[in-house]
Amino acid sequence: MSQPPGFEDHNHPDHVYKLQKTLYSLSPRQLYERLNNFLTSHGYERGKVHKTLFIRKLNYDIILVQVYVDDIIFGSTNENLCQKFVSAM
């Protein structure tokens, strides 16, 4: 085991942390439900075919949010929408 890139401690290069519990206090299902509730309350529509895809349209712009296990991938036709999404999250 080694320290992740960008998080090296040069004073203690051989030190790493062992987690005593999971990083998330919620189960994946609970985490998805909270995220689903948050996004839909902020004007996102859940995909009809892919239930983990969320779409929000504003005028001629669109932002897409894809949830995959514990990762979130998002993109937009408008940089400001991405910045607002990051701030809201």
Residue 81 placed within a domain? yes
More confident residue, 5 or 42: 42
Residue 20 placed within a domain? no
Residue 49 placed within a domain? yes
Question: Is the pLDDT assigned to residue 65 strictly greater than 80?
Answer: yes
Indicate which CATH number applies to the domain containing 52: 3.30.310
Residue 75 placed within a domain? yes
Three-class SS string for the chain?
CCCCCCCCCCCCCCCCCCCCCCCCCCCHHHHHHHHHHHHHHCCCEECCCCCCEEEEEECCEEEEEEEECCEEEEEECCHHHHHHHHHHC
Per-residue pLDDT tens over the stretch 12-56:
888 887 666 665 666 777 888 888 999 999 999 999 998 899 999
Across 2-6, 41-45, 46-50, 80-84, least confident range: 2-6
Q: How many domains does the chain have?
A: 1
Confidence (pLDDT) at 21? 61
Residue 57 placed within a domain? yes
What is the residue range of 58's domain?
28-88
Note if the pTM is more than 0.75. Answer: no
Residue 56 placed within a domain? yes
Residue 4 placed within a domain? no
